[in-house]
Structure 1
Amino acid sequence: MKNVLIVSGHTNLQGDSFANKIILEDLQAKLPNATFDFLDQEYPNFKIDVTVERKKLEAADIIVLQFPIFWYSMPSLMAKWMEDTFVHGWSHGSTGKALHGKKLLLSFTTGAPADMYVEGGIQMYPVETMTTRFQQMANLCGLVYEGYIYTGGVSYASRPDAEKVKIMEAACHEHADCVITRLKELSK
């Protein structure tokens, strides 16, 4: 498999995650050669070491952004990581070619079920609309946008219900397997 960087954007993965924690544990177990970047462990104070992060990105062939959707976007820590690291002259602009040709795969979850993300539904828009900022970022930075793996209905609100927990756990394991399958395809 090509050099894979998986960036975890959850702001409190060990203390407050259900779905992303399971997905990342599976990915770590099944992708021992991948590089994992747990932003909440590295930068609990939101002070991003740009030099370190750029080296990780430069070494990668495939970049996976793993995160929960918080308020219809990426978590604040992942946004801060992107704002600090992806700057004109490095990631984009006439001299910013560091990411050109690298593949970008999104892997994200929502607490609300997938069937709520439909035009005119409770969430008003399809889940794809939440990927447009990433597609534009990929375009600007010369990344090859490879789509997304998405699982909905993995809400912390369901944690007290043992039956729902089993269903959510199975969905998270399936999600991780889908990411692995996609990474194998992208490595060809």
Structure 2
Amino acid sequence: MKKVLVISGHPNLSQSIANQTIIDSLTSGLNSVEIRRLDTLYPTEQIDVAAEQQALLNADVIVWQFPFYWYSMPALMKKWLDEVFLHGFAHGSTAKLGGKTLQISFTTGASGEEYTEGQAMNFPIEAFMPAFQQIAALCGMHFAPPIYSTGMMYLEGLSSAQDLQNVTAKAKDHAARLIQQIQQL
């Protein structure tokens, strides 16, 4: 059984329908999983680098779960990456993450149609993946095909009950696809 480490990069997971549903589904759907919620572990953004590096070393599959912010990861998750994926640990001649799998999993508020030329996002989602692929390559990690879901917008007080049902159903489907892919790695 592969050990799975999930790094939850949502800045306030308790207010997220989609990402919280995905995390809950991973917790119940995978046998050997550790969830590290950056929002609750590091509310002051003081990252315990040694603890994070040890968690990474203990894992076979590393999942980054996050909402897509400005075509990348949220700020706290980027800070985590900058501080934890150090030369000599994550990459370089003494890299320790080589051979592990990096699985990115994310949600977007924008619809899939908006990720096309001439629309609001102007590029397909795949156009934003090279930076993630390069992180994996630099670290000698296998980059698994990304799992993502679009149109995951729900705003309490503004969205309808039907919107909530739709986002929840899409999040459960997202988690099922992610679990299936992890199990096939």
TM-score by length of 1: 0.94
Of the structure 1 ranges 123-132 and 50-59, higher mean CA displacement relative to structure 2 is found in 123-132
What CA RMSD, in Å, does the superposition of the two structures yield over aligned residues?
A: 1.2
CA distance in 1, matches of 2:172, 2:117: 28
Where 1:182 maps in the other structure, the secondary structure is helix
Where 2:145 maps in the other structure, the secondary structure is strand
TM-superposed CA distance for 1:11, in Å, is 0.7
The one-letter code of the counterpart of 1:51 is A
Whether contact under 8 Å (2:154, 2:163) holds in the other structure is no
Count of equivalent residues: 184
Where 1:173 maps in the other structure, the secondary structure is helix
Partner of 1:46: 45
1:3 maps onto 2:38 in alignment: no
Partner of 1:156: 154
TM-superposed CA distance for 1:104, in Å, is 0.7
CA distance in 2, matches of 1:150, 1:108: 5
Partner of 1:141: 139
CA distance in 2, matches of 1:5, 1:92: 19
Whether contact under 8 Å (2:154, 2:167) holds in the other structure is no
CA distance in 2, matches of 1:160, 1:116: 19
Partner of 1:87: 86
The one-letter code of the counterpart of 1:70 is Y
Deviation track 1:20-53 (CA, whole Å, cap 9, x = no partner) reads 0111111111124211111111001111100000
CA distance in 1, matches of 2:60, 2:32: 13
Partner of 1:36: 35
CA distance in 2, matches of 1:44, 1:38: 10
Match of 1:104 among 102, 105, 129: 102
CA distance in 1, matches of 2:167, 2:12: 19
Identity fraction in percent: 43
Unaligned runs of 5+ in 2: none
The one-letter code of the counterpart of 2:64 is L
TM-superposed CA distance for 1:67, in Å, is 0.3
Partner of 2:125: 127
TM-superposed CA distance for 1:160, in Å, is 2.5
The one-letter code of the counterpart of 2:13 is L
Partner of 2:20: 21
CA distance in 2, matches of 1:126, 1:115: 9
TM-superposed CA distance for 1:73, in Å, is 1.1
4+ aligned runs moved over 2 Å, structure 1: 156-160
Of the structure 1 ranges 151-160 and 135-144, higher mean CA displacement relative to structure 2 is found in 151-160
CA distance in 1, matches of 2:76, 2:39: 7
Whether contact under 8 Å (2:8, 2:37) holds in the other structure is yes
The one-letter code of the counterpart of 2:72 is S
Unaligned runs of 5+ in 1: none
TM-superposed CA distance for 1:122, in Å, is 1.7
